[in-house]
Structure 1
């Protein structure tokens, strides 16, 4: 089992939802965490909240936009300046625009691809040298929508199908350097994604702490074993 204490992780989109659940799980293992957001206020306030309950490690908030490569480079530089190393990178930032192809706008298409797919490319491109040095781990958060298409999902399906394939190719590129690469493909998760307000009716869904636990399990796995693609879905969804 890998020793995780005092390792350092960068999580894009870490102020809420799945990213926040991962940050909480990593801090509980003694992993220092940098969470990013396009909002400096959101990043700093969430880091402060995390630090108020964390006892084994420290969180910092970083303003960064995954759609901008220079912004991602700056985030990595800040993490290295603060912690002197970078061991784990979680490409989690994502969004969804859902509309039929007749109604999907050019702006919605570009925003989805730039955030969900190009953002993941920028994230690993900015951090790859640091991960090679630490023989670290890169994990992207894709979706079951990256394997199963649905109506009004043209932009989201394209971004997540692309992200799944992209991450698998990166895995083949980087394993020769001792860098592990995985993609996690969740089904329905109880978050604020797409305007949802989580309540008791979402109890059947995957919870953010479940994804956090899954990430910890991957990081703890023996270096010789690599689950390169992990699908996770609710055990018992409501009957239709």
Structure 2
């Protein structure tokens, strides 16, 4: 089992939902965590909620490559290295394809797909140095299409394909790449407000534990794509 204490992890979209759940699990396992988001007030609030001195809050919009480059510079200046990257930032806009706006399409592709590439591009040289781990958070929508989901499906199908191809490129540097594809998760996604009726869903901390398990796994073993869904539907 790998020792993960004092590793440094960067989580995009780490202020709530899946990203925050992963951040919480990593902090609890002795990892230094960097969370980012577009709104610095939200990031600072999430940092305070995590309640650890080993958390760094950064403002970064994954749609802007320069933001991600600056984020990595801040991480290295603060912690000296970067071992783990969780490309989690994402959003969903749902409408029939004939009614989908250009703005909604571009927002999803730019954030969910191009943002994942920007995060990879900005962090990969650091991951080469640490023989690190890159994890993208995709979705079961990355393999299962559904009505009114054309834009979201396109972005998440892209994330799955991107991460799997990146895995083949980067394993020669001893970098691991995994994409996690969750089903229904209790989160703020699509402006949902978590409530008691969400108990049947995957919880963010469940995905946090999954990431911890991946990081602790024998370095010779790589689950490159993981589908995860609730045991039962509502």
- The bucket for the TM-score relative to the shorter chain is over 0.9
Alignment of 1:45-124 (within 5 A): 45-51=45-51, 54=52, 58-124=54-120
Aligned to 2:176: 180
Q: Deviations over 1:150-199 (max 9, x none)?
A: 00001000000000000000000000000000000000001111121111
Taking structure 2 as the reference length, the TM-score comes to 0.99
Shift of residue 97 of structure 1?
0.4
Aligned residues: 234
Pick from 203, 208, 211: which aligns with 1:212?
Answer: 208
- Separation in 1 of the partners of 2:47 and 2:70? 18
Aligned to 1:197: 193
Q: 5+ residue gaps in structure 2?
A: none
Q: Deviations over 1:200-227 (max 9, x none)?
A: 1110000000000000000000000000
Aligned to 2:232: 236
Cα RMSD (Å) of the superposition? 0.7
- Separation in 1 of the partners of 2:227 and 2:58? 29
**Residue 57 of structure 2 aligns to a residue in which SS?**
strand
Shift of residue 11 of structure 1?
0.1
- Separation in 2 of the partners of 1:151 and 1:49? 37
User: Are 1:161 and 2:157 counterparts?
Assistant: yes
Taking structure 1 as the reference length, the TM-score comes to 0.96
Q: 5+ residue gaps in structure 1?
A: none
User: Are 1:29 and 2:25 counterparts?
Assistant: no
Structure 1: which 4+ aligned runs deviate by more than 3 Å? none
